[in-house]
A = this chain, B = another copy of it.
Amino acid sequence: MKKFLNKPEQFVDEMLEGIYLAHPDKLKYVNNDLRCLVRADSKKGKVGISTGGGSGHLPLFLGYVGDGMIDGCSVGGVFQSPSADQMFEVTKAIDQGQGVLYIYGNYGGDIMNFDMAAEMADMEDIKVLQVVAGEDVASSPKGEEHKRRGVAGIFFVYKIAGAAADKMLSLEEVKRLADKAAANVRTMGVALSPCIVPEIGKPSFTIEDGQMEIGMGIHGEPGIDKGPLKTADETAQILVDKIVKDLPYEKGDEVAVLVNGLGATPKEELYVLYRKVSEILNKAGISVFHVFVGEIATSMEMAGLSLSLLKLDDELKELLAKPADTPFYKQFQL
């Protein structure tokens, strides 16, 4: 294991200490718990948006806490859910009387804990609604969408919900828009190499030399096809085909595209892939409103990438285009 760390069991807390030291004007923690992260400033009277999940995916999840995006995040151990308790503390800290929307990925541990947190919030009369993001088409077939893993597409859900809350819309309305984004996004990924959880110290799965795994999840969940490394163009074709057929995205549709690096894969390769993605979408008559290329949801040092499409309509487009400014994500008006 080649990592910059001190004691593996201190990894997450030391990372958080570094984050608070680096961004003291933007982020703080509540309840004396580094893992209960909230915005240092906040817009009064706004619906609160909170997320949470395991560490090891930066900028996911906490990186989207900031202006125009979300308000708080409970932080788990590497690939571990934070506790209901922590989620509840964040909820209390960001509620401004307008209620709080939870947005999180479709993982057992997270669901149970957010459910528990919502029960706790209910007992304190904080109105909580939940949006579970699950859009990895490789993780479950059509018809069983509710079983799908949440991966990089959650970025779009944050962005839409964040912009909606910023417009001072109601909790119900923010949820409606977040649900719409979640329903209109599809993702698929491919992995070339594993990653190492510091406390485990060695990869918990392997991908052989010269092999790639199509559809692998961001914690190494199995994909749908393990086989010899394909070219960038072939890979793009497989990802686009599967995603486009699933929703389906159709001729005349307008989409936002996200080409997400999982960690070790350089930006150069993401652009080589996008070249083909753009060509295929263009041929299919699907137009691209904007493409995001970079590390949006990672698995530490895993090599690989994922592709997400978000189908847009006027209201989603308007919200997606709004600026955002967090320590990890900056966007000028599109």
Verify if A245 is at the interface (C-beta below 8 Å from B).
no
- Closest CB in chain B relative to A172 CB, distance in Å: 31
- Closest CB in chain B relative to A3 CB, distance in Å: 6
**Complex interface: chain B residues within 8 A of A272 (CB):** 4-6, 11, 14-15, 18
- Report the bound CA distance from A271 to B19 in whole Å: 6
Chain B residue nearest in CB terms to A14: B272
**Complex interface: chain B residues within 8 A of A270 (CB):** 4, 18
Instruction: Type the 1/0 row for A254-280, where 1 means its CB is closer than 8 Å to any CB of B.
Output: 000000000111111111111100100
Verify if A303 is at the interface (C-beta below 8 Å from B).
yes
CB distance A2 to B301 under 8 Å? no
Beyond A22-B291, A22-B293, A305-B4, is A15–B330 a contact (Cβ under 8 Å)?
Answer: no
Beyond A22-B274, A330-B330, A330-B332, is A268–B2 a contact (Cβ under 8 Å)?
Answer: no
CB distance A58 to B212 under 8 Å? no
Instruction: Type the 1/0 row for A5-26, where 1 means its CB is closer than 8 Å to any CB of B.
Output: 1100001001111110110000
Verify if A229 is at the interface (C-beta below 8 Å from B).
yes
- 8 Å CB interface, A193-240 against B: 193, 210, 212, 229, 231-233, 235
CB distance A17 to B330 under 8 Å? no
**Complex interface: chain B residues within 8 A of A133 (CB):** none
Verify if A184 is at the interface (C-beta below 8 Å from B).
no
CB distance B192 to A2 under 8 Å? yes
CB distance A303 to B305 under 8 Å? no
Interface residues of chain A: helix, strand, loop or mixed (majority): mixed
- Report the bound CA distance from A5 to B59 in whole Å: 25
Partner among B229, B231, B275 whose Cβ is within 8 Å of the Cβ of A21: B275
Beyond A2-B229, A235-B4, is A18–B271 a contact (Cβ under 8 Å)?
Answer: yes
- Report the bound CA distance from A1 to B160 in whole Å: 38
**Complex interface: chain B residues within 8 A of A154 (CB):** none
**Complex interface: chain B residues within 8 A of A11 (CB):** 268, 272
CB distance A266 to B298 under 8 Å? yes
- Closest CB in chain B relative to A5 CB, distance in Å: 5
Verify if A325 is at the interface (C-beta below 8 Å from B).
yes
- Report the bound CA distance from A243 to B323 in whole Å: 37
Chain B residue nearest in CB terms to A211: B2
CB distance A301 to B265 under 8 Å? yes
- Closest CB in chain B relative to A200 CB, distance in Å: 15
Chain B residue nearest in CB terms to A274: B18
Verify if A76 is at the interface (C-beta below 8 Å from B).
no
CB distance B268 to A58 under 8 Å? yes
Instruction: Type the 1/0 row for A304-334, where 1 means its CB is closer than 8 Å to any CB of B.
Output: 0100000000000000000001001011100
A: residues with CB less than 8 A from B are 2-6, 11, 14-19, 21-22, 55-56, 58-59, 192-193, 210, 212, 229, 231-233, 235, 263-275, 278, 291, 293, 295, 298, 300-301, 303, 305, 325, 328, 330-332
Knowing that A3-B192, A21-B275 touch, tell me 14 more A-B residue pairs with CB under 8 angstroms.
A2-B210, A2-B229, A4-B235, A5-B231, A11-B268, A15-B271, A18-B275, A21-B278, A55-B268, A56-B266, A266-B301, A267-B295, A330-B331, A330-B332
